[in-house]
Structure 1
């Protein structure tokens, strides 16, 4: 693999042109210093630029070939990209501009627009060289703003400058830029400081870096400076969006969802002090010297929702809070990065849910996921488990390349340290064998159903773990003895299942069709975000294959219902866009046969139960943490109403989703929010915010799906 990558520049030089003017090569290096990809940019004398962009991590990644020309204003007049996306979908996209007329076409959309002046086209799939073009074009504008095509405005500001040293001792000054206007959080790029600036590198904390070849030693310095700059932005956001509730707070006239009974009780008043519930009394009970009063006005009040399959980063928190997700189980991360986020959240410097960490444990192979601990042997596995146990991790997650020969001993050791064990099924095993080795839980519906589809030599560390279920589950007989025996075993052992149905809807999404989990939210999203909901993920050839994949996915949803009704514990996780996807997961559980109230129970009581936090979360009960979600409508009857979160109380703060929506450019899901009255002083909710956005070209789906 590495030998082939090393030969790429020679092959590219020959293929592109014998008259290439300049070549710039960037290396993509994972957090554990493994090269996982590269970007090679060839700028020819005739103005044509050609780019080869490829990276592979965790058995998948994009493979793209681009070419483009620029106009006098530095924006593209011609653009084309071909190849495959992270999960194998065909990429074929073109853009052209002649005068004031712009046209574009891809496998999922086409359009045209009349526009005057500079404007940057935003490809659905592209390399980081697109960002380099934008950096240079924005430098030419008087206000560091640039119209986007098809829509929107890209903004850029400088956050920091630092001198770095290259491999040969050469030095240069680079600057950190924050771009907003694309996506739901800022994007950060390091750029040169020349009159014609270009991209120098990209740092994705805890995952990877992409820097010009020869400058890799600068990555730690740039990462530290970037973290400090990001932290200031995040602390400012937390200060604006988290409203402290000092003293005694009473949430009056609340209809509380009882997560044990999956029902709604009579109107009640909830007393909150220092982040905990001190009492729950009948509505209208005398209030003695409360410092704050929140009038729920008969709204249904839920315990804070749990997302049991996240991979959190510093920018996820706002989306989770706006959705009423107050607890997230992190299912794999960079260990140092996660520990820092836990500290920042505890200090109130980060707008974030409470995180329950699961330690990530992987084995060495060409397919390895590069986070947590990647080990070779049992000694390494035990040392990793000790590290996690000493830091209070209640769970261990085992991944695809883990050595099957030491699985049973590893699970037993984790159990001896008081940890639950879950994960993917290591290559070469069936789910039943992982359960026999001691697993307490399985992640993802595909990992469950692969139990009936694999042989000992089936490779499940590449895209086959998606393609095989999409092709074969359609024909799986759920009434067969092997399937029934497996379900009975899950029930007997009380093995919990984390199906992430919303994430796996991509298996049956065709280019140009709206991805099912996002149909309900697309109209609320910024245009560039909604646009991506129609981009297909899998390579689907023709209607016959589409129908087969649709049938397979429908049966995956059905199987979750079969397991639940049989008595298998189900938990609700996303592994996708935070917040909104949890709501979609609950809607799919209802589609599987659960009632809306049962789906809410899964996201509250089960969430606490399978994170071992039932002592202080999962229900609105005196003595527990005051994780309280006020919802408009009645999600116990219509699960879509769970999206109508009007206010959230958690960690001693009051949070208004409308404020977060305004800051992220999202159309709100509710009208008026409940008012807060302080002693002798009425205080209304403050609805403010700006507009920011983001995109990381090493896209989040590659790290978060499966």
Structure 2
């Protein structure tokens, strides 16, 4: 039986059991990423009742569940249930009902009960993309296309344009909308003339009605264009550039080399570069032709790095607001990334500096769906050349790559002036990847799995994350651990840690806010808040819970062990919010590093590794003006870095409070006093 038939079978069985649906026609949409079909979404509507099946398999991960929806007046659901599994295989059981003037809901994130004379639109927590069509149709029935929603927040719908897709008899007129208020980024969707969901799309993936898959590339381009237009609007509104010196007074400068704060000083910036760092007693009276910013005794910290980013159009502002001014992109949609780089260089988009790596995957049933997938060693070598010609810094290898090809790929990359990083290919070992030519390993779990897995276990599946529970019983003082660390020391191998993403997965518990999310989550849109309050790993017993807890503590112990052995730690997140970079550094301190050591790793340490330390990593005369202002002393409390008041990226000024306002996030700080020639603020 084909995959598609298997996926549709639950729908037809449901229809068989409820005769009214036997004549109903399924609406089927397919999910496409990097030209690969990775999922399917099927809905059957019978009057006011809808049955939905959702299946995604992307690199061994993806939600798989069934939804039942009952629509009431104004196409507002009065009942909605979801049952199945989520991204990493955890069980999902969600329900919402409005009956007799009372709304009740229960999900992984929360539960509630509220008296309501009429039903309100409910934002489902573990739903599929079918929900986008439900929300849009409800919003279209309102005058202002805005609705307050349960359990909180507000959704809005903005009409963008009309267009036609398909050819001949298949040509369909659609309307493009921007749906905002659910998550960190707005969703772009298409409705047909009957207001049925035709597509949703971003710059790197597409959900589209079956039969129109040939239009996917057109939608990817449209997603890129629309997100670029929005990014350009925000850049114009939020970025401040001056052709006169900017004088930042009354600040202490954090020096990552010494780990200390300097005396109260003035830092002067002219366009892109720092022109002076002057102790307050030696600073001249304020010239009238300069921009003056009062740091009020706060601290300037060199811009942070995220060494494991998958950059998106929207991630740029989130990064900058968190003081992250440089990232290493560890694999992306190549066309999108190259276009984004051009826009960043032209000043059209806001975002950190990007060192970009080429994603190289092998072909298997578990292949990731972006970058370049090589089916032969010859294709892998061609991919290396393709990336080298376009200025990529390293090749990043992924799970399905044949481990026997790694040494050959490493030689080809080195010949073209590039390095090699990535996951440990399935059925390989960290030790072998080091010997074969890796310069750093991506993810601490990829390193530790070499000590936890049995021969033949397949890391192309979610096992590469679930097996970290075995860390509860790992002895770090064993020959196999010492052998790997000795190899890393001998060959100067770094580790891109991404401990924060493992904390999120291993310690996530339904209905609770994880420690790493507590400082910011209640500032965020309702959909994102609820998304974070869920269990991402299967927990079948109290023992499972305990093993994940202890396994994560072993990760922290491993970070300290590596640090004590002078292994370079590269803070990375596998995320794009900026908040996770800040948490990664907090985790370093929890592991036993001092706040100053943690900050060094994310500033000059990363710049040294990337070879950019002549321009970045410290705040000195002649260097690029990449830094951020916080009110307190991060050497005493690393969490002070969460309170950025101003960020400079190459002399361009951003105020996080203004960024967060634009992104519908409650700000975390106020901007400092600024005086502009001819205009006082």
Shorter-chain TM-score category?
over 0.9
Q: Is the 8 A contact 2:400 2:426 kept in 1?
A: yes
Q: Does 1:110 align with 2:116?
A: no
* Residue 577 (structure 1) shift: 4.3
Provide TM-score, normalisation by structure 2.
Answer: 0.96
2:43 corresponds to which residue? 41
In 2, the alpha carbon distance for the partners of 1:108 and 1:657 equals: 28
Q: Is the 8 A contact 2:78 2:119 kept in 1?
A: no
Consecutive unaligned residues in structure 1, runs of 5 or more? 685-706
* Residue 93 (structure 1) shift: 0.5
1:687 corresponds to which residue? none
2:245 corresponds to which residue? 248
Provide the secondary structure at the position in 1 that maps to 2:350.
coil
- Please give the residue correspondences for 1:331-350 in structure 2 after superposition, counting only pairs within 5 Å: 331-350=330-349
In 2, the alpha carbon distance for the partners of 1:550 and 1:16 equals: 44
2:491 corresponds to which residue? 493
* Residue 117 (structure 1) shift: 4.0
In 2, the alpha carbon distance for the partners of 1:609 and 1:5 equals: 50
2:568 corresponds to which residue? 569
Consecutive unaligned residues in structure 2, runs of 5 or more? none
In 2, the alpha carbon distance for the partners of 1:526 and 1:32 equals: 29
Q: 1:107 to 1:278 in 2, by over 3 A?
A: closer
* Residue 392 (structure 1) shift: 1.9
Which range is displaced more, 379-388 or 29-38?
A: 29-38
Q: Does 1:51 align with 2:52?
A: yes
Give a deviation string over 1:390-412, Cα, whole Å, max 9, x none.
22222221100111121101012
- Please give the residue correspondences for 1:170-209 in structure 2 after superposition, counting only pairs within 5 Å: 170-194=170-194, 197-206=195-204, 208-209=205-206
- Please give the residue correspondences for 1:293-312 in structure 2 after superposition, counting only pairs within 5 Å: 293-312=292-311
Provide the secondary structure at the position in 2 that maps to 1:295.
strand
Provide the secondary structure at the position in 2 that maps to 1:336.
helix
1:23 corresponds to which residue? 25
2:234 corresponds to which residue? 237
In 2, the alpha carbon distance for the partners of 1:14 and 1:530 equals: 35
* Residue 559 (structure 1) shift: 0.7
Q: Does 1:675 align with 2:680?
A: no
Give a deviation string over 1:108-137, Cα, whole Å, max 9, x none.
421111234452111110112211111111
Provide the secondary structure at the position in 2 that maps to 1:73.
helix
Q: Does 1:659 align with 2:658?
A: yes
In 1, the alpha carbon distance for the partners of 2:510 and 2:31 equals: 31
Q: Is the 8 A contact 1:160 1:229 kept in 2?
A: no
Provide TM-score, normalisation by structure 1.
Answer: 0.92
In 2, the alpha carbon distance for the partners of 1:189 and 1:290 equals: 48
Q: Is the 8 A contact 1:510 1:540 kept in 2?
A: no
1:695 corresponds to which residue? none
1:692 corresponds to which residue? none
- Please give the residue correspondences for 1:446-465 in structure 2 after superposition, counting only pairs within 5 Å: 446-465=445-464
In 2, the alpha carbon distance for the partners of 1:583 and 1:114 equals: 40
Q: Is the 8 A contact 1:118 1:146 kept in 2?
A: no
Give a deviation string over 1:628-653, Cα, whole Å, max 9, x none.
21111111110110101010111331
Q: 1:526 to 1:15 in 2, by over 3 A?
A: closer
Provide the secondary structure at the position in 1 that maps to 2:89.
coil
1:321 corresponds to which residue? 320
Runs of 4+ in 1 over 6 A off after TM superposition: none
Provide the secondary structure at the position in 2 that maps to 1:516.
coil
Q: Is the 8 A contact 1:430 1:454 kept in 2?
A: no
Q: Is the 8 A contact 1:254 1:268 kept in 2?
A: yes
* Residue 11 (structure 1) shift: 5.2
* Residue 7 (structure 1) shift: 4.2
- Please give the residue correspondences for 1:614-625 in structure 2 after superposition, counting only pairs within 5 Å: 614-625=613-624
In 1, the alpha carbon distance for the partners of 2:73 and 2:660 equals: 37
Give a deviation string over 1:484-535, Cα, whole Å, max 9, x none.
2322222222211111111101213221222231122223333443232211
Q: 1:257 to 1:391 in 2, by over 3 A?
A: same
Q: Is the 8 A contact 1:249 1:290 kept in 2?
A: no
